[in-house]
A = this chain, B = another copy of it.
Amino acid sequence: MNIGLDMMGGDFAPLEAVKGLALFFAKTNTDIHFTLIGEEIAIKDLLHQHQVPLTNIELVHAGQAIGMHEHPTRALKEKPTSSIALGFKLLATGKIDAFISAGNTGAMLVGALFSIKAIEGVTRPTIGAYIPREDGSLGLLVDAGANADCKPENLSQFATLGSLFVEHILGINNPKVGLINIGEEEGKGNLLAQAAYPLLKENEHINFIGNIEGRDILLSKADVMVCEGFTGNVVLKLAESVYDIIQRRGIEDEHFDRFNFEMYGGVPVLGVAKPVIIGHGISKDLAFKNMISIAQRMLETDLMQKMKEVFVQKL
């Protein structure tokens, strides 16, 4: 297993990525190989400073970096030796088995879609986001912003992909799938939700429980919460802002501490043929450590193969 890590992505690069690696090694007895992509000299110094064991670590120098606000497609084209472009090249050619970055989200998404391609049968890969629930568990909101306009079939595929991720990575058996909607009964909602409902009901690969409403998103009613990426992104950013308000109000509460979305590490791109994980720009060491753990688990459980098998059945 060889996990590629973009060392130049995020607001605190490459320091926090190195600290995340150190944290991972401190907590895990592992024989994973790592390929670290970025400014070789700076990274070497930091690895040394933070006493990261160099066995099983390979450095790949990246002479360029893509900024957080650069245009994704243009940046990937114009910066072929950037850490993100190199990472996708290594992933596409099988030199690494998974790729993690806290860099430019758009560039990561474009790279995943165009370098790695979708799993056969998946029309629109998606990005999920974790939602903390009061019972201490995590749910998955999917799509969290990758697909602003969707067809009903897309939502049904998001449900399948999300269910597999939640079952194998978050460890919830037979996860409940809810369609985010503006009413509980079948037939409610906008045209998209009305048309998606019967497709979800017929989808044999998921445990569909029906519609859920905005008030159910932060509860445990459904483990996989499906919507198009417009609503999903607004909902996710609103939930993130609740944590900021809680902080500003000086409220200390164990449950709301879990609204610190940074601690979950990155969100997976679901539906592409290899594991790609996109971190928040503000990712710190814990986030990097968690992203590595998620990639490890995605590889160990052979999640991509499980996804391929489901979609092959459907073709």
Contact = CB atoms under 8 A, between A and B. Distances in A.
Interface of A: 134, 145, 148-149, 180, 182, 189-191, 193, 213-219, 227-231, 233-242, 244-245, 248-249, 251, 253, 255-256
A189 B148 contact: yes
Number of identical monomers bound together in the oligomeric complex: 2
Contact of A148 (B149, B190, B213, B245): B190
Interface centre among A193, A230, A236, A256 (most CB of B within 10 A): A230
B241 A238 contact: no
Contact of A230 (B134, B218, B231, B236): B231
Contacts of A233: 182, 213-214
A105 to B, nearest CB: 11
Nearest to A254: B249
B149 A229 contact: no
17 contacts: A134-B248, A182-B229, A190-B228, A190-B230, A193-B230, A214-B234, A214-B236, A215-B240, A216-B241, A218-B242, A218-B245, A227-B234, A238-B238, A238-B239, A249-B253, A249-B256, A251-B253
A251 B255 CA distance: 11
Contacts of A227: 234
A213 B215 CA distance: 19
Contacts of A134: 245, 248
A119 to B, nearest CB: 24
B148 A234 contact: no
Contacts of A219: 241
A150 B68 CA distance: 33
Interface hub of A219, A238, A255 (most chain B Cβ within 10 A): A238
A157 B193 CA distance: 24
A217 to B, nearest CB: 6
A234 B235 contact: yes
A196 to B, nearest CB: 12
A242 B215 CA distance: 8
B253 A238 contact: no
Nearest to A252: B251
Contacts of A215: 237-238, 240-241, 244
B235 A214 contact: yes
Nearest to A214: B237
Nearest to A232: B182
A163 B148 CA distance: 27
Contacts of A217: 234, 238, 241
